[in-house]
Amino acid sequence: MLHTDEAILRWAAQDYGDLVHHRPVAVLRPADVAEISAVLRQNAPVVPRGAGHSLHGQAQALNGVVVDMTALDTIHEVRPDRVVVDAGARWSDVLRATLPLGLTPPVLTDYLELTVGGTLSVGGLGGASQHFGAQTDNVLALDVLTSSGDLVTGGPDHPALGGRGRNGIIVRATLRLVPAPETVQWHRLHYSSVELLTADQRVLVTAGSFDYVEGQLKIRGGQRVRELEAVSYSRASLDGLAFDDADTQVTSYWDFVNRLAAGEPALREAGLWDSPHPWCNVLVPDGAVENVLRHLESEGPELYSEFGLVLAYPLRGSVFLVAALRYARRGDDEAVRAMVEANKVLTKMAQEAGGTLYLDPL
């Protein structure tokens, strides 16, 4: 059904970034795929929206129609090697259907409340990407609506993957599954320098011994923290690594992959969930990563807040993802401006080193 009331139009002009606000003329909450097809056939600009966790209005449609894909979120079938899902399903829904059968998608984003269509349209990276690539590398088949409203099927090379909603609307995806561990050994290793942190990340990735590897830089309680999260499904050894100290826990796989669920209420309470998030994600060649991280450490603490952090982790092909995750208070335009300027510097630095933007504004 098409909605045009003010509250829904305002909702569709908002996203997690809270930096761009394009009003559509209508929002479609489809009852089925045929309804989306009918709107596409009318030739208006149509943009699919998943969970709306974009940072720069990528799921908004100025004077067009936004399709709320979360209306179609059925998990159709789970088989030992695959799951068939509607694109509006969230990754947490996918896991709730597959984990009871001991199965999981090989790569998960850190936060599970993103939709399948939303992350497949950008890539979808996580701590297991060193082994399995992006979520888009683990798609077996897709049903896609073309811009003229035709329903086509495609394989792992379909341009809707990574197409940010502009190369067709993914309505259904068949995703690869692998066996899920029941428990994981989750180490948080702390380092005295960026160089030691990244060196250990390379050691772990070369050895292939850890299932999940992500590094982070943050300031907590006024102290600088350089942390490597190294997770093993089979109790791999930490011998030979250069960390200063380690916190280790054994936890269920679900609790590990769903670890950010607890962060959302905390951020809401602090007034930093529905507020501007000038985040900047770049893909940096391996040889340049220390330089970029040293630069980010030299930025003022006011660019991060008590909740902000820099993520840094290796992907396949000698590339690191570096993500500056900044939180500003609503109304603090000066902080937002400073963060946006800092992101320009980071982007330029990454590009001059041969890197690119991930999640670029379109």
Ligand X SMILES: Cc1cc2nc3c(=O)[nH]c(=O)nc-3n(C[C@H](O)[C@H](O)[C@H](O)COP(=O)(O)OP(=O)(O)OC[C@H]3O[C@@H](n4cnc5c(N)ncnc54)[C@H](O)[C@@H]3O)c2cc1C
Which span (113-121, 199-207, 223-231, 240-248) binds ligand X, by CB under 6 A?
113-121
Which span (104-112, 228-236, 247-255, 345-353) binds ligand X, by CB under 6 A?
104-112
90 vs 140: CA distance, rounded Å: 18
Q: Which residues contact 208 (CB under 8 A, 6 or more apart)?
A: 131
Q: What angle do CA 36, 54, 304 make, to 5 degrees?
A: 170
Tokens coding 294: 């040293």
136 makes contact with ligand X (CB under 6 A):
no
Tell the smallest beta-carbon distance from residue 80 to ligand X (Å): 26
Tell the smallest beta-carbon distance from residue 225 to ligand X (Å): 19
Yes or no: say if 213 and 205 are a contact pair by the CB < 8 Å rule. Answer: yes
Q: Which is nearer to ligand X, 345 or 362 (CB)?
A: 362
Q: Out of 24, 64, 106, 117, which residue is the one contacting ligand X (CB under 6 A)?
A: 117
Tell the smallest beta-carbon distance from residue 131 to ligand X (Å): 15
53 makes contact with ligand X (CB under 6 A):
yes
Q: Which residues are paired to 26 by β-bridges?
A: 65
Residue 361 three-state SS: coil
227 vs 220: CA distance, rounded Å: 12
Q: Which is nearer to ligand X, 280 or 292 (CB)?
A: 280
- Within residues 251-270, the interface with ligand X by CB under 6 A covers none
Number of residues that bind ligand X (CB under 6 A): 34
Q: Out of 12, 30, 46, 49, which residue is the one contacting ligand X (CB under 6 A)?
A: 49
Helices (H), the chain: 6-12, 33-40, 91-98, 116-120, 129-132, 194-207, 253-257, 263-269, 289-298, 333-352
Q: Which residues are paired to 78 by β-bridges?
A: 83
215 makes contact with ligand X (CB under 6 A):
no
Q: Which is nearer to ligand X, 241 or 309 (CB)?
A: 309
Yes or no: say if 116 and 94 are a contact pair by the CB < 8 Å rule. Answer: yes
Q: What is the dihedral of CA 346, 348, 354, 356, to 10 degrees?
A: 70
Which span (118-126, 177-185, 248-256, 333-341) binds ligand X, by CB under 6 A?
118-126
The pattern of x and - marking residues 167 through 206 that bind ligand X according to CB under 6 A reads --xx------------------------------------
Report the interface residues with ligand X, using CB under 6 A: 15-16, 47-54, 58-59, 69, 87, 109-111, 114-115, 117-119, 121-126, 160, 164-165, 169-170, 359
